[in-house]
A and B are shown apart, each in its own frame.
Chain A
Amino acid sequence: MPSQARLPQVTVMVNRVPVVVPSGTTVAVAMVLAGQACRTSVTGEPRGPLCGMGICFECQVTIDGKLHCRSCQTLCRQGMELDTEK
């Protein structure tokens, strides 16, 4: 998309693998783009964003060591380290 080409790119680490996304992308979207589930449920199911608005907590990701961050409401920043939550 033409407008996306104009946006600066940002590299984040998803489970220690670099992923490049346009600036302004949320962490939840970066996880989906990386093909990674955000978290694993109590019985071991892979889970991803559901509500997209910070209510359901299915998008919980560890960001730079901080647990239980709502990734759908967090913007990607250069060098962020994102880890799937158990």
Chain B
Amino acid sequence: MAAAARAAECGVRVGIVDDNFSLGGQIWRSGSGNDQNHDKRNHPEPNVDERNDEPNDDNQNREAARWAHRVRISGVTSLCGLRVVHQPETGVLLAENLDGFCELSYAKLILATGARERFLPFPGWTLPNVMGAGGLQAMVKSGLPIRAKRVIIAGTGPLLLAVAAYLRQQGAEIAVICEQAAWGSLARFGLALCSWPTKILQGLQLKREIAGVPFAASSWPLSAHGDEALESVTISRAGRVEAIPCDYLACGFHLVPNVELPVLLGCALRDGFVEVDDFQQTTVSSVFCAGEPVSIGGVDLALVEGQIAGLAAAERTTEAKAWFGHRQKTRRFAQLLDRTFGLRSELKSLPTPQTIVCRCEDVSYSRLRESTSWRAAKLHTRCGMGTCQGRVCGPAAQFLFEWTPDSVRPPVFPARVETLAAIAGPLELLPSEARGEH
């Protein structure tokens, strides 16, 4: 949204494509008003400054409302509920929605495909009502009643606290937050926050919002239990084992960048992230990228990078440069996050031989263990070949077995045959010249 608004404000003709039913991606997912923040989101006060004593979610809602306002008045065309599946020729995207498909042609493209949660398998993780941390939050924003429901939140990273605060505000009873990082790492993180006073304020604010919620470090889920759906979770808490009855388990082990579409378009990666220059331009000259696919840095970094990308795409390089310092500072925080919340090796022993790793094809841990690479696993077990195309099991397998994922093939999401039939030629990647290879 930041990229679109900035570019449109420069007089460029801009369109946004979001596969949700309204703009905002995941972090500003507006739901459609079935949670308690509906009124605040839909009746924003654009001139009120952020108040640091207010719930973090309110500040986010105001920020979101401000950008939504800028997107609207700058004349951006919003295309929601639409998902890009392929680029059949340079400069033309093929996109699909529930009812049909369309082709979108562009001169410049800015990718803000975000990130998804990393899921780690453990016994019982496939039970209904075990969801991602952001996943449960998204469901509540979409109308899931959570008042008086018992929730366990597990995994790693500040997202757990943000989700806890949100769910609590919606009336949930948070039984415990299980953070896999050790107290030592968290304490060092706390000290390092001194460089970011706003973060300290946000942190203290979060602390107030979840006051009284049990928080355990060096803690993770061991197994989830239930008949047709989740009924209880057994957790490890600094070496002790505890069984806790609950209605929902929200678990997320950090975030994984959605680089599939950038790779399909020929953008080069570095260390698993999209490689960009100072102007957020990828190795494909007409394609820019901002936010999580570049580095997991949260909403603040995504906003800065989005603005730089929007200005750069509109060829306003001087104005873009004005944001470089802010981006530099915000990026350092992202690096701190990475260091603090790295995954512990104990998590590799969570799955038993029968635990399903690939949920689309029901491939168990024991069957995967027999393979020596991701490609071999795909061929022998169908792991990664199902509907999610390895988006869930891939990052898990990467962590468990240290495999590297292989190339992306179109379509980048499952698509209807009629959509793909619209492409004149065979379903190919772009010619290698466009990818910068020879």
Chain A residues near B83: list those with CB within 8 A.
Answer: 54
Determine which of A24, A47, A72 lies in contact with B128 in the assembled complex, contact meaning CB atoms within 8 Å.
A47
Residues 51-67 of A, flagged 1 when their CB comes within 8 A of B and 0 if not, give: 11111111010010010
Chain B residues near A4: list those with CB within 8 A.
Answer: 34
> Does B75 touch A at the CB level, under 8 Å?
no
Given contacts A3-B38, A68-B387, contact A24 B139 (CB under 8 A): no
Say yes or no: A52 contacts B143, CB within 8 Å: no
A58 and chain B: residue at smallest CB distance: B359
Say yes or no: A28 contacts B139, CB within 8 Å: yes
Say yes or no: A73 contacts B81, CB within 8 Å: yes
Determine which of A3, A23, A50 lies in contact with B130 in the assembled complex, contact meaning CB atoms within 8 Å.
A50
State A28–B142 Cα separation when bound (angstroms): 9
Say yes or no: A37 contacts B128, CB within 8 Å: yes
Chain A residues near B142: list those with CB within 8 A.
Answer: 24-26, 28-29, 52, 72
Among B19, B83, B139, the most chain A Cβ lie within 10 Å of the Cβ of B139
A75 and chain B: residue at smallest CB distance: B21
Say yes or no: A49 contacts B139, CB within 8 Å: yes
State A23–B128 Cα separation when bound (angstroms): 24
Given contacts A48-B129, A51-B132, A73-B81, contact A25 B362 (CB under 8 A): no
* Minimum C-beta distance from A68 to chain B (A): 7
For chain A residues 10-26, which have a beta carbon within 8 Å of chain B? 21-26
Say yes or no: B36 contacts A3, CB within 8 Å: yes
Given contacts A22-B143, A26-B142, A51-B135, contact A1 B36 (CB under 8 A): yes
B251 and chain A: residue at smallest CB distance: A50
Say yes or no: B135 contacts A24, CB within 8 Å: no
Interface size on B, residues (CB 8 A): 49
Chain A residues near B392: list those with CB within 8 A.
Answer: 50-51, 55-56
Chain A binder among B25-33, B55-63, B304-312: B25-33
Determine which of A21, A55, A69 lies in contact with B388 in the assembled complex, contact meaning CB atoms within 8 Å.
A55
Say yes or no: B361 contacts A68, CB within 8 Å: no
Residues 63-86 of A, flagged 1 when their CB comes within 8 A of B and 0 if not, give: 100101100111100000000000
Chain A residues near B388: list those with CB within 8 A.
Answer: 55-57
Determine which of B34, B359, B387 lies in contact with A25 in the assembled complex, contact meaning CB atoms within 8 Å.
B34
* Minimum C-beta distance from B389 to chain A (A): 9
- List 20 contacting pairs A-B, 8 Å CB cutoff, sorted by A: A7-B34, A24-B33, A26-B139, A32-B139, A33-B144, A37-B229, A42-B362, A45-B126, A45-B356, A46-B128, A50-B119, A51-B116, A51-B132, A51-B135, A56-B359, A57-B360, A60-B387, A72-B138, A73-B19, A74-B21
Give A residues with C-beta under 8 Å from B: 1, 3-4, 7, 21-26, 28-29, 32-33, 37, 41-43, 45-58, 60, 63, 66, 68-69, 72-75
When A and B form their complex, which 4 residue pairs have the shortest distance between CB atoms, in order from nearest?
A: A24-B32, A48-B128, A52-B138, A52-B135
Given contacts A22-B34, A26-B143, A52-B135, could you give 17 more A-B pairs where the C-beta distance is less than 8 Å? A1-B36, A1-B147, A3-B39, A7-B34, A22-B143, A25-B143, A48-B131, A48-B229, A49-B131, A50-B131, A53-B26, A55-B116, A55-B388, A55-B391, A68-B387, A74-B21, A75-B21
